[in-house]
Chains A and B, each alone.
Chain A
């Protein structure tokens, strides 16, 4: 072997923050090369993905709108991943949040009332949390892997949503389109900055970051979750309840994903349709890792990944590239990040070839 990996013994704080920067730069280089390979001017890649979305007030507002659900979900996932709770079902939890919260909004119809919006938001959180309670129950009582159960529930949730919007909840005046009626005024998220689409969910995401950081860094519960992830045996000896922490991590992640769902449905979308989320639940996994499983980092990670969505849309409109290119960038970014993370825990030592018999 030409090199040897030497454990640092303690994770390098410097590298844990340098590694995302390296990963982002490497992804930009690869994307530039990919654009060039597809016969598009290479400089356009950088421009479409980074400069264009961030160069106007409206662009920045859109960035916030796209980042909000990613950050909301990412905060919950980061706390779960720390505890080794692999919730891959945020997409389904998001959908259930939209269904429960949206159901309340539809039931309210055109009624006025200050209670409608809070009830919808609460409904969204409860819907997401209940959907996440299923893998939690199956994990703690039946030992079933939450990775596979939470993932399967994504498909079930998507089918349930389709059933509702083509069946009982379909808009009778919607010309047969698979969608519900538009939410009434009292059931729509208020716009925070007039002239943009910045809605209540953006503020909620910032609050989630702050509360998530407090939980993570300042509470005993946050400490217990971290110990459970890093040293499950130590957690058991210390008397922490593994099942209780698993429940907490999944319910929290589910509630935040459900919130993201209702904010999307009653915010930028304004009704329930079969495509509430362009894969936010999966992208938030990357956001959580890019943000170093730290709520404050998740905020930065969410903004970076929101750029990839805006850039993907731009690439589609301006350069005629398929939308799927977003998924490639997101995958490549996570690849580079995971590779660069090697340096967080290890030093690379070059090994000189020593003649046989010499000290290695």
Chain B
């Protein structure tokens, strides 16, 4: 029974560490598939985290909190979209500006919320099933955002592969000139994809402040937004591999918490480096296969489009 309890608790903590990565990376994947590289994930997540926290605390409704976080993330993405899509600004620079702005804005909004406690996001319990040993709490006793992360991934996967709109989105990302010539609204598609990415990053941020650690702290995502960006490369822009990547990194994050529990004498700072070092290792492993990266990268990723030439 003790092993059961340990397995269950490790599995639950891996899921909660992976969920925000999966949510943010799913959003960014759609954005990048349309040819837009938004490096502002970290900033959008932080703003989502504080807005979700503040609204949940103020209204007492986590549903409203999550919706507000999604809107806040989308609003941040809108700033990015106006600058890069309408005003043709450099996407790399604008994404960095969005992150710097988001760190500042979230800290300003959050200055009154530091140290305030919050009820964690309720776990949904499927009657009868959630009390089963091990599988019960893992499969049938999660909070709504965990289920949402899977639902969103499946929906995005279906959308990109099977739907007509998904085909247009991929066309816009692979050849904006051809897509424009056929008559598709390149800029409109990219706006929508960017806003969707922002909303997902906002929800990912809300997961941090409502479920992962139910509180607000400055910079609480500590680089998870950048790891989500790396995950999209790791997945070579394919949703199924995103799931693998997010749970791999969730696992590494949790491993880091348990290493010292196993009695391995490593200073905690070195253990904390693990997710960042693992990101570098994984990026190198994927990127060194140049052919595969070239075949899978949206061909117009990061390039501006101006219909007037």
Contact = CB atoms under 8 A, between A and B. Distances in A.
Interface in B171-194: none
Interface in B259-309: 267, 269-270, 272-273, 276-277, 279-280, 283-284, 287-288, 290, 293, 306, 308-309
Given A145-B287, A149-B283, A156-B273, A346 B96 contact: no
Contacts of A285: 93, 96
Given A152-B226, A159-B269, A162-B269, A143 B93 contact: no
A60 to B, nearest CB: 26
Given A338-B87, A341-B89, A88 B288 contact: no
Interface of B: 39, 79, 83, 87-90, 92-94, 96-98, 100-108, 111, 218, 222-223, 226, 229-230, 233, 267, 269-270, 272-273, 276-277, 279-280, 283-284, 287-288, 290, 293, 306, 308-309
Contacts, number: 145
Contacts of A147: 39, 92
B104 A331 contact: yes
A331 B308 contact: no
Query: Which among B96, B218, B306 has the greatest number of chain A C-beta atoms within 10 A?
Result: B96
17 contacts: A5-B306, A142-B288, A143-B288, A143-B290, A143-B293, A144-B283, A148-B229, A151-B223, A323-B107, A327-B101, A327-B105, A331-B105, A335-B101, A338-B83, A338-B90, A341-B89, A349-B308
A286 B97 contact: yes
Contacts of B308: 4-7, 349
Contact of A327 (B103, B226, B287): B103
Contacts of A144: 280, 283-284, 287-288
B104 A325 contact: yes
Contact of A325 (B39, B98, B108, B269): B108
Contacts of A322: 107-108, 111
Interface residue SS majority, chain B: helix
Contact of A138 (B39, B233, B284, B309): B284
A88 B230 CA distance: 14
B21 to A, nearest CB: 14
Interface string A321-360: 0111111111110110011011001100100000000000
A239 to B, nearest CB: 21
Nearest to A289: B93
Contacts of B103: 324, 327
Contacts of A338: 83, 87, 89-90, 93-94, 97
A327 B83 contact: no
Interface in A287-326: 289, 322-326
A163 interface: yes
Given A142-B287, A282-B100, A324-B218, A342 B107 contact: no
A88 B280 contact: no
B269 A86 contact: no
Contacts of A223: none
Contacts of B104: 324-331
Given A339-B83, A342-B87, 4 more contacts: A7-B309, A331-B102, A335-B97, A338-B93
A67 B308 CA distance: 41
A47 interface: no
Contacts of A148: 226, 229-230, 233, 279-280, 283
Given A138-B280, A322-B108, A335-B79, A145 B233 contact: yes
Contacts of A88: 96
A289 B96 CA distance: 12
Given A142-B288, A151-B226, A152-B280, A331 B100 contact: yes
